[in-house]
């Protein structure tokens, strides 16, 4: 492999974390050679738009979400390039076409893939993770088409809302009793369901998908023998971290994520990780991996600077957000409805701040239709973790709205 090309920095992945790393690296190391290898056929995109902005009419062109890493940073971007091996000892990676590439430092930013249904291979059944998926779903969502969205989580709920803008007939089938019930308090989940029904979405709770039969139409069957008929199906079954490269390379993994130190270094020399795949020690909330774009962006940037030789700790507690028709939220920490919830509403009942408590400790804050309060939410979590929060005063700390 002495003839193999060598780059100072090789980024594995072509998502938001990869893009942020390329930008930060270029700024910190103007002369360095940077190579970005992505299995996606297109440049990195701002993925949240695939279930939001792109459905709102004017900006339906997914190329408008192109992060244009290549053009802007001068990094060499090779799309459509699957990396099949990472070999930390020899500081090389191998692509599916057999190309061997040497690196000075490497970044694992391989993100997640949508969970699929084993044994289902029908082009009318899709998921929503990539630009290709987005284009495909748009093509399936013709006027009057019966589309069943399966899954009552983040992607299922956002995608169902988006699909109503196409004139398709949308059904949202999910195993729970209420939409988003694992993260939203019952009061808000009930409101979301009312809005969804008013927008013409048929909600089918308690539906545990067992299989899909392909015929002239698609037949979805639940474990309890219920049937739903559809022209197309969108699976919102969650995402799986892409860690096979890391696993084969022998990197330390825990709970299926790649363990990194405070500088985002993995257990292998000169190999960093950022974005969805990284298991990091959040200064407020402890060891966790976070599948949200704010974290992908922030950790990618820190990793990029550290690859260029900085010693910058990653000390960011990520926020996340979602839009559900005219409602929306920002949030920090664990939104887990098995915790104790404290809700404060505005007088009109349209906006709320919800604290998620484990005993006396605030683990998460949901800002429902409440804006510009993410720093305040972080401060509440921090004070609570330090034991300096007056719980009696909690309800007045952020005004909903």
Residues that bind ligand FAD (CB under 6 A): 12-18, 37-40, 47-48, 50-51, 82-83, 109-112, 128-129, 155, 242, 245, 275-276, 291-294, 296, 320-322
* Cβ atoms of 24 and 54 closer than 8 Å: no
Nearest Cα to Cα of residue 159 among 80, 218, 238? 238
- Which CB atom, from 171 or from 242, has the smaller least distance to ligand FAD? 242
**At its nearest, how many Å lie between ligand FAD and the CB of residue 96?**
8
- State the Cα angle at 27 between 271 and 67, rounded to 5°: 85
- Which CB atom, from 22 or from 173, has the smaller least distance to ligand FAD? 22
**At its nearest, how many Å lie between ligand FAD and the CB of residue 311?**
23
Distance CA 79, CA 156 (A): 28
- Which CB atom, from 13 or from 88, has the smaller least distance to ligand FAD? 13
- Which CB atom, from 127 or from 308, has the smaller least distance to ligand FAD? 127
- State the Cα angle at 39 between 62 and 66, rounded to 5°: 25
- Which CB atom, from 127 or from 173, has the smaller least distance to ligand FAD? 127
**At its nearest, how many Å lie between ligand FAD and the CB of residue 328?**
9
* Cβ atoms of 375 and 350 closer than 8 Å: no
- Which CB atom, from 165 or from 221, has the smaller least distance to ligand FAD? 165
**At its nearest, how many Å lie between ligand FAD and the CB of residue 241?**
9
* H or E element in which residue 19 lies: helix 16-28
- State the Cα angle at 275 between 94 and 107, rounded to 5°: 30
**At its nearest, how many Å lie between ligand FAD and the CB of residue 227?**
28
Q: Which two tokens stand for residue 339?
A: 């915790």
**Phi–psi pair at 82, nearest 5 degrees:** -85, 130
Please spell the DSSP secondary structure of 107-128, one letter per residue: EE---EEE---TT---TTEE--
- Which CB atom, from 13 or from 152, has the smaller least distance to ligand FAD? 13
Q: Which two tokens stand for residue 367?
A: 């800002």
Instruction: For tokens 């067992």, name the residue.
Output: 210
**At its nearest, how many Å lie between ligand FAD and the CB of residue 223?**
26
**At its nearest, how many Å lie between ligand FAD and the CB of residue 200?**
21
Distance CA 113, CA 283 (A): 27
**At its nearest, how many Å lie between ligand FAD and the CB of residue 141?**
14
* Cβ atoms of 369 and 401 closer than 8 Å: yes
Distance CA 210, CA 106 (A): 41
- Which CB atom, from 67 or from 212, has the smaller least distance to ligand FAD? 67
């Amino acid at each position: 492999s002495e003839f193999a090309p060598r780059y100072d920095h090789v980024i594995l992945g072509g998502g938001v974390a990869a893009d942020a790393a390329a930008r930060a690296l270029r700024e910190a190391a103007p002369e360095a050679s940077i190579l970005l290898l992505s299995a996606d056929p297109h440049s990195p995109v701002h993925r949240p738009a695939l279930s939001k902005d792109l459905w709102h009419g004017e900006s339906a062109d997914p190329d408008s979400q192109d992060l244009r890493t290549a053009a802007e940073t001068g990094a060499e971007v090779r799309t459509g390039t699957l990396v099949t091996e990472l070999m930390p000892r020899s500081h090389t990676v191998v692509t599916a076409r057999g190309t061997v590439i040497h690196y000075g430092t490497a970044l694992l930013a391989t993100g997640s893939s949508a969970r699929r249904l084993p044994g289902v291979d029908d082009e009318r059944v899709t998921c929503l993770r990539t630009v290709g998926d987005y284009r495909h779903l748009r093509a399936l969502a013709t006027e009057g088409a019966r589309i069943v969205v399966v899954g009552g989580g983040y992607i299922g709920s956002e995608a169902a809302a988006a699909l109503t803008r196409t004139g398709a007939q949308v059904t949202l089938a999910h195993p729970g009793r209420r939409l988003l019930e694992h993260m939203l308090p019952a009061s808000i989940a009930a409101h979301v369901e009312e809005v969804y029904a008013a927008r013409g979405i048929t909600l089918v709770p308690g539906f545990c998908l067992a299989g899909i039969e392909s015929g002239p139409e698609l037949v979805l069957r639940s474990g309890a023998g219920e049937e739903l008929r559809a022209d197309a199906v969108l699976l919102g079954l969650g995402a799986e971290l892409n860690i096979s490269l890391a696993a084969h390379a022998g990197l330390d993994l825990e709970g299926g994520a790649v363990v990194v130190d405070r500088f985002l270094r993995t257990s292998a020399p000169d190999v960093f990780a950022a974005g969805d795949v990284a298991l990091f020690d959040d200064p407020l909330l402890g060891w966790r991996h976070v599948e949200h774009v704010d974290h992908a962006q922030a950790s990618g940037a820190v990793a990029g600077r550290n690859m260029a030789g900085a010693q910058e700790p990653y000390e960011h507690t990520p926020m996340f957000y979602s839009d559900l028709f005219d409602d929306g939220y920002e949030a920090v920490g664990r939104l887990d409805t098995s915790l104790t919830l404290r809700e404060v509403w505005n007088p009109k009942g349209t906006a709320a701040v919800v604290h998620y408590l484990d005993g006396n400790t605030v683990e998460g804050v949901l800002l429902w239709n409440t804006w510009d309060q993410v720093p305040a939410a972080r401060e509440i979590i921090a004070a609570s973790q330090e034991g300096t929060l007056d719980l009696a005063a909690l309800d007045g700390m952020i005004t909903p709205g």
